Amino acid sequence: MEEGPGQEAPVTRRRVLALGAGGFAVLLAGGAGLAGSRSGGGAADAGAPGSPSAGTFSPSMAAAVLANRADAVREGDRMAFLATVGNAPAAFQDTQSRMYGNLRKLPLEGWRERVVGTEAVDGETAVVRVEARYRLRGFDRSDVARTRYLTLAPRGGAWTIVGDGTSRGLADDTDIWDCGPQTVVRGRTSLVIGDGAGLDGIARRLDAAVPAVTSVVGTGWARRVVALVPADATVASALAGPGQSLGQIAALAAVAPAAGGGRGEDRVIVSPGTFGRLNELGRDVVLAHELTHVATGGARDGRTPLWLIEGFADYVGYRRVKISTRSAAGELRREVSAGRAPSALPSADAFAGGSPRLSQAYQEAWLACRMVADRYGEAALVRLYRAAGRAPEAAALRDVLGLTRERFTELWRDYVKEELA
């Protein structure tokens, strides 16, 4: 992509595009999914022998409060919801009030909380581990499960919520309702949720990307997508999972964990600060790339080689945009021009966030997939991708292309030189 008057600097994989594609590498290293629901481990289970106040608190006491909260969310009764935290500090009440408002904006097909364990109990308080379940109507096929912690205390003859679990070092799984006052944009095939900027534009781009991705991968996927767009990069990172950071990532595909250990629900997480620095082409490519992961199950795939997962997503992402190969693979082109052509397909480690050749790894993977499409046809590339998810890489290359891995690598190296020299 050449710069023109008034045009932003070209998208580079190191500067921004590794961003979206790199999101999967980060996700793979940290385990698939958003912040996974934790099984936890209580300091004492309710009713366990030796619990100092097991006789004064039981999960059923918390269950009644949680049932009231679920009813209030379903019926739109803010006062009833806030009554369950009426004795909590003002700051916690404010957080719960914002959470209620955000929940009411979501197209929820059920939202409920249930006690799954007791972390601690004494004469004055009980800290419970709660599983929050919900489903987004028209998009989710199963319930998503999030782990939360609530502190309860006796007030006026009943137990009531007075806080979360932070006083005991317990952190909730973050979900989009934890962001600031949010907006929900419903596109033709997309649902975009958050308090970040540009939600309408993201919905339009995703709507346009769905048929583009489908034209390559086929109709055997849901052909709809949920995107989460928090304004705070810290929240975006928390949605990615414990220990993850989206500071240099524009978007990533992830899986929200399902209740009962099911397959989970796909999400695209957008980090607006970084995403907002992309030019128009970059935004299209990044979202189409992540949507390809959604369509192919890339965030769940532990078998297909990472060069093929990421290269295929880039192939689809770049397929409908006008950009020269030399511009899209600028970092790799400079290496080839200096006589340092790649000798081997990028390993999984090359896609790690701290890799010194992260940009080049994505460019190498993209060109490998582009070579297959150019020489054997796009249908062959799709067959190769699917075969590699069922069989070892060498077997997939042999069965689909009739090539050994060594011969495939030779052809790819020649192709890289031809395209970038």
Q: What is the pLDDT of residue 98?
A: 97
Q: What is the pLDDT of residue 19?
A: 38
Token pair for 187: 């596109």
35: number of Cβ within 10 Å: 24
Which residues, in sequence order, are CB contacts of 251 under 8 Å at separation 6+? 19, 20, 23, 268, 269, 270, 271, 275, 286, 287, 290
Taking the C-alpha atoms of residue 336 and residue 328, their distance in angstroms, rounded to an integer, is: 14
Q: What is the pLDDT of residue 420?
A: 96
Taking the C-alpha atoms of residue 57 and residue 306, their distance in angstroms, rounded to an integer, is: 50
Q: Which amino acid is at 299?
A: A
Q: What is the pLDDT of residue 27?
A: 28
Q: Which amino acid is at 187?
A: G
Q: What is the pLDDT of residue 225?
A: 98
- Taking only the tens place, the pLDDT of each residue in 227-249 is 999 999 889 988 976 666 777 78
What percent of the residues of the chain are helix, what percent strand, and what percent coil, each to the nearest 5? 50, 15, 35
Taking the C-alpha atoms of residue 224 and residue 220, their distance in angstroms, rounded to an integer, is: 12
Q: What is the pLDDT of residue 105?
A: 97
Taking the C-alpha atoms of residue 294 and residue 213, their distance in angstroms, rounded to an integer, is: 10
Residues of the chain with pLDDT under 50: 1-55
The DSSP output letter for 258 is: B
- For 20, the enclosing helix (H) or strand (E) is helix 18-30
- For 268, the enclosing helix (H) or strand (E) is strand 265-270
